[in-house]
A and B are shown apart, each in its own frame.
Chain A
Amino acid sequence: MIAVVEATGSNFSSVRFALRRLKADVTVTNDWSVISEADHVILPGVGSAAAAMEKLHDAGLAQRIPSLTQPVLGICLGMQVMFAHSEEGDTRCLGIFAGNVTRLTTAPGLPVPHMGWNTVGSEWAYFVHAYAAAPGPGTVATTEYGNAFSSIVCRDNFTGVQFHPERSAEFGSRILQSFVTDSIRNPTWISSLQST
C-alpha cells in the first residue's frame, strides 16, 4: 500500500490518479499508524511551505517522517519540505536533506513561477514552482533555469523530485512505476538517468 500524506498538498488528485493508472493501492492519510506501516510513502505538494509544515506538525508527523525506513518520495513542495529550511515564509522544515530552499530569481526571459517542461538529464519533466534548492550533497540531477537547481535529490530511502512526475508523461510514469515496484534503495530510474 502507498500512503499519500494529505498534509503537504491541497491538490493530490493527480498523484492519486497517476498511481491508480499503475494499479497501485493508494491511501490518502495523515494517520501515522497508516503511514508508518505503508510500503511506500509519498509527500505530494501544492501550496506553501509554511502551511504544509504547520499541517505536518498538527498531524504529529513532522518529527516522525524523517524516521521512516520505507521508500519515501517527495514531489515539488513535498521535496522542498524535506530540506532544513525554506525561504518561503521563513519556514523550518524536516531536515532530511541539508540545505535551504530559496526563491527563484526573476529576470528578463525567466518568469517566475518556473512553469513548463524542462530537462532532467536527457528527459523532459513538468515543473511548476517558485522556490528550489541549490545543488548540494543529496543532488542526483539538476535542471537549469537561470541557475542550476536540484531537480532530484536522494539520500537513503528518501527521494525528492522538484517536478511533477504525475504530469510528466512517459518519464513521470516511469519514475512512479519504479518507485512503486523497486525495492528500497537506488531506484533504477535514477541510475538510468545518470547513465544518459
Chain B
Amino acid sequence: MLARRIIPCLDVRDGKVVKGVRFRDHRIVGDIVELAVRYRQEGADELVFYDITASPQNRSVDVTWVKRVAAELDIPFCVAGGIRSVDHAKRVLEAGADKISVNTPAVRRPSLIDELVSEVGTQCVVVGIDSDTVDGEYSVHANAGDPAQTEIISRRTLAWIAEVQERGAGEIVLNCMSHDGVRTGYDTEQLAAAREVCDVPLIASGGAGSANHFADAFADTGVDGCLAASVFHSGELAIPELKRYLLSRGVRVRLNSYATDRDKNQHDGRIQA
C-alpha cells in the first residue's frame, strides 16, 4: 500500500536556500545540496524547491543548482516558482528534477498545463493552487507569494481543481492561504472538499505547526502528502519523530533504515531548537 508523503519545501534564491535550516546538531545555511541531502537522510519522501529568484523577462533561467541537487539526491524532487513556459520546464526537468510545479502562470493561461503535459508527460506536471475563502466560497488567488501583489481570480477553487485535471495535471498542491504561516493546522475542511473532486494525488500545504496537524490532515482529508516549511526548518519537528508519531496514529509512512537507526541511537537526543 502506498505511503503518505512528507514533503519539506525550501525557498531558493539565486541557487541558494534562503533561510537556514536547523537540524538536531547544527544549523545549515545556504548550501542547497547539503540541505537536500540532510532532509533525505532524515527521511523526507520528496523535496520541493520553491525558486523565488526574481526573473526579469528575457533573462535566461539558471538551472545549475537543479543539476547540482539532481547529481546528489536519490529521492524525487520538484521545482516550483517562476516556470512560465514549456521551454523553461524542459530545462528544469532535463537538469534532473522529477516534477515541475506551476501556479500563477497556469491561472493566467490555463493552456500552459496542456502544453506542458503533452511535452513532458502528466507525471511531471504539478499544479499549485493558492486558495482562500471569498464570499463564502473557496477562490483561487494569483501571486499569493507576494502579499502586495496577491489578487483574487474569478475562479472557484473546486472548479479549477477539476479543470486542471482535465488538462492533464498529474498532481495538485493546495495551499490554503488563511492557514499558511499561522501554524494552527492544515485547513482540513477545504482539503476534504478538494479531495472529493480530485482523482490525482493531492498534497496539503499551509498550516503545519506540530505532528498532530499532519496526522489530522491525513486522517480527516485523505490527502496523499503534506508539505511544510517552517515547522521543519526551525528544528521544532524532526521528520523521524514525525513519522513515528504518524505510525502510532495509524498513518502509513515510509521509515527509511537511516532514520530508524538514528532514532534508536538518539532516542534521548531531543531537538534543541
Q: Do A17 and B224 contact each other (CB < 8 Å), given the known contacts A46-B123, A169-B74, A170-B258? A: no
Number of A-B residue pairs with CB-CB distance less than 8 Å in the complex they form = 102
B222 touches A109 (CB 8 A): yes
Residue-wise, chain B 200-232 has the 8 Å CB interface mask toward A (1 for contact) of 111000000000000000000010110000000
Q: Is B3 a contact partner of A128 (Cβ separation < 8 A)?
A: no
Cβ-defined partner of A128 (8 Å) among B72, B123, B222: B123
Q: Mark B238-257, 1 if CB is under 8 A from A, else 0.
A: 00000000000000001011
| Interface magnitude class on chain B | 35 or more
**A10 to B2, Cβ gap below 8 A?**
no
| A112 cross-chain contacts in B, Cβ below 8 A | 199-200
Residues of B contacting A166 in the complex (Cβ-Cβ under 8 angstroms): 74
Q: How far is the CB of B127 from chain A (nearest CB, A)?
A: 14
Interface string of A163-196 (1 = CB under 8 A from B): 0101111101100000000000000000000000
* Chain B residues with CB under 8 A of A47: 121
Tell whether, in the assembled complex, residue A116 and residue B257 are in contact, meaning their CB atoms are under 8 Å apart. Answer: no
Contact with B along A1-42 (1 / 0, CB 8 A): 000000000110110011011000000000000000000000
Q: A46-B124, A118-B2 given as contacts; is B170 within 8 A of A167 (CB)?
A: no
Q: Does B80 contact A (CB under 8 A)?
A: no
Task: Report B-chain residues with C-beta under 8 Å of the C-beta of A128.
Answer: 76, 98, 123, 170
Using A115-B201, A116-B225 as known contacts, say yes or no to A124 and B123 having CB atoms under 8 A apart. Answer: no
In the complex, the answer to whether B200 meets A117 with C-beta atoms within 8 Å is: no
**Would you call A106 an interface residue if the criterion is a C-beta within 8 Å of the partner chain's C-beta atoms?**
yes
Q: Identify the closest chain B residue to A110 (Cβ).
A: B2
> How far, in angstroms, from A173 to B73 measured CA to CA in the complex?
11
**A6 to nearest B CB, angstroms?**
12
By a beta-carbon cutoff of 8 Å, the part of chain A in contact with chain B is 10-11, 13-14, 17-18, 20-21, 46-48, 106, 109, 111-119, 124, 126-130, 144-145, 164, 166-170, 172-173
Starting from the known contacts A10-B121, A130-B122, 8 additional A-B residue pairs (CB-CB under 8 Å) come to A10-B93, A17-B70, A111-B199, A116-B3, A117-B254, A126-B75, A127-B2, A128-B170
Chain B residues in contact with chain A, CB under 8 A?
1-5, 40, 45, 67, 70-72, 74-76, 93-96, 98, 120-124, 170-171, 198-202, 222, 224-225, 254, 256-258
